[in-house]
Structure 1
Amino acid sequence: MIQNSFAANEDWLAERGIAYGKVLAPDANHITLFFACAEKIHDFARVYGLNTPAEVAEFRSRLSRRIEEHKASLPEHVTTMVMSSENLLGNLRTQAEIRSLKSFLSQHFDDIEIVLYVRRQDDALISMYGEFMRRGFSDETFDQFIKTCAGPDSPVPYLYYRRELSKWISVWGKEKMVVRRFSPVDFIQGDILADFMGVVQRTWTPDMEGFKPSPEPNLGLSAPALEFLRRLHPAIPFVKNGKPNEQRSKLTPFINALPKQPRPVMAAATARRIMDPFQNANRWLKNEFNPTLEGAFFPARADHPEFGNLGQLTLEDSIELTGQLLANVEIVPK
């Protein structure tokens, strides 16, 4: 929501001295910063045609030039540039990579702040599971996914906030980090866009008049659609024969158009199983960034039902979802 909305309000932002960075990314997610600073070449980068260290180095140079070109094109009164990508905390896993990002950005900007919205781990895990199924990264059930995420090769290391943020603090300094709880009860005006604008404008009463939120809500797929895609995974995984799967790429827009309702819901016992191991780390999070907060940083919730709906797929669901995919796929005879 933040990324698409900021990208769609370029003139509005410019009137207020703000620019949304142009960093050779095809969409509003500034994932290219991750490509330029990662120690290893991620599969996402290979989709962009970055396959060797030399290609990444050349891309880093092009990215640097693009940032300078964008800065040079801005009016003098535009003094703040916003960049946004969840892939930075999610994929820059070592202090060396974080230092690389700091070195890269410090060439272009005098004062840099890192803004992070932290989400309760049970909500974040169900959201990430949906992304894994949508993109074709895995065929694990949700219970299997939870076990994987608790292991040494967790695909969601950023949920271990104490461990990961400690690395960022050591590189950037705690004073340069703004940590906000991802919760409507905490958002300024109850809205994530107003909240982030308040951070950017350094005010609790941000100017939002005339700002037009993106009409594209970042809403994941329905629970039946996730189970449908999980079962399809062996046929159309994201990676095939060691390379990004072209078939999956072609299907992506049609997969994204699958139903969004009913929403995925986990059972209360599953939520407790996820949250309990994070109690000490979340206590650290509160003490470091919100010591005056009453109660736990992520308090217990009563809105999880006794039974969830993950992993359920009826025959009718399968027929309907298959029909939606096939209705949009162009079949070319061989």
Structure 2
Amino acid sequence: MKLVCHIGTPKTASTFLQNTMVENRDWLQQNGVIYPDLLARSPNHITLFYAASEQIHDFAREYGLKTRADVLHFREKIGHALDRQISDAPKNARTMLVSSENLTGNQYSIQNLRDLFCPRFDDIKIVVYLRRQDDAILSMYGEYMRKGFNGMSFPEFVSACLGKGSPTPYLYYRRMLSSWINIFGKPALEVRLFDRAHLAGGDILRDFMTVVFGSDLPDLSQIRRAAQDNTGLAAPVLEFLHRMYPYIPRRKNDALNMDRIRLGPRIDALPATPRPQMAPDLSQKIMEHFRPANSWLRKTFFPEFDGPVFPDRRPGDLDSNMGQISLAQFAEYTGHLFT
């Protein structure tokens, strides 16, 4: 059986793809593809990340993983889950598809993942979508504010992403992809650009299905698309959450702050427009920081490109609306959260 392992990156519609795969498990199976249950509590196969880790990730504790022995035992359980679903697969099944954007992080061993996969699959394809780093940082800042991971201002977050110990290590594409090349080999990697101009049919789902099925792409008209439930929050909402962070942090006294967790659905329902917009000079600074790695990316995976993989912005792009909120907006959002 062939394995297609989708590793993200974050903020490239991974959640949408995972939810769509779960909603269409029967359709996938009819067409020879298994989207397995790997003991995860969501469509994201994040359990692969936990099983391959050399450390105990905070979120892994939700799965009862508190010691190194727990992780080793959990890795065995994941292996058994793969074996079971391979053996139970219908005769027409020729591909297993797994997906987790967490696999582009840096707190686990890709070698452990290879040791889990290689005895079970004849052919392994690693699929990754890459986004312009300035857009990705802007989108990830929204995620950090929405989840309450920290209380940084947007300029502080950008500085952190460009510095040591970056919260977005997967944006260093040369470093991240080289780790996968070293373990699986370059031919195993399918590197795609998260840009409508480069997606098959201008659509992420069609593009993804093209990668999974190759030249044997079936009729996609019967696929039920999952709701786009991870579209982000408005620019003034992000500033509101930045300012409110000291009062509703995600963690309090070394534990999850349940008050913040209970507010999660209300935070998710805050306005999504106006969309966040980055200042052109900051965008240029970010892309200049990543220029050497992006040049390597073009030479290694897109040699047919005449210019850079991620072209410079047009001079007429809008100015920033980050860090701005009116008193009326602050009052509106406060009322929405607490009344």
Same fold (TM over 0.5): yes
Aligned partner of 2:319 in structure 1 is 307
CA-to-aligned-CA distance 1:189-220 (integer Å, 9 cap, x gap): 11000001000111396631211211234301
Aligned-pair identity (%): 46
1:41-120 equivalence runs, <5 A: 41-92=56-107, 97-120=109-132
Q: Are residues 124 and 206 of structure 1, via their aligned partners in 2, closer, same or farther at CA, if it must alter by over 3 Å?
A: farther
2:184 is aligned with 1:175: no
CA distance, structure 2, for counterparts of residue 260 and residue 47 of structure 1 = 30
Deviates more, 1:298-307 or 1:129-138: 298-307
CA distance, structure 1, for counterparts of residue 216 and residue 117 of structure 2 = 27
CA contact (8 A) 1:4 1:216 kept: no
1:285 corresponds, among 260, 285, 297, to 297
1:103-252 equivalence runs, <5 A: 103-203=115-215, 207-252=219-264
**Residue 202 of structure 1 aligns to a residue in which SS?**
helix
**Residue 179 of structure 1 aligns to a residue in which SS?**
strand
CA contact (8 A) 1:198 1:206 kept: no
Return the offset for 1:303: 7.4
Structure 1 runs of 4+ aligned residues shifted over 6 Å read none
Q: Are residues 313 and 247 of structure 1, via their aligned partners in 2, closer, same or farther at CA, if it must alter by over 3 Å?
A: same
Q: How large is the Cα RMSD of the aligned pairs?
A: 1.8
CA distance, structure 2, for counterparts of residue 221 and residue 309 of structure 1 = 13
Deviates more, 1:77-86 or 1:168-177: 77-86
Quick one: which amino acid aligns to residue 25 of structure 2? E
Q: What is the TM-score normalised by the length of structure 1?
A: 0.92
CA-to-aligned-CA distance 1:68-105 (integer Å, 9 cap, x gap): 23223321111211111111012446xxx010111112
Count of aligned pairs between the two proteins: 324
Quick one: which amino acid aligns to residue 157 of structure 1? P
Quick one: which amino acid aligns to residue 212 of structure 1? R
Deviates more, 1:230-239 or 1:261-270: 230-239
2:25 is aligned with 1:10: yes
Quick one: which amino acid aligns to residue 149 of structure 2? F
Aligned partner of 1:275 in structure 2 is 287
Unaligned runs of 5+ in 1: 328-334
Unaligned runs of 5+ in 2: 1-15
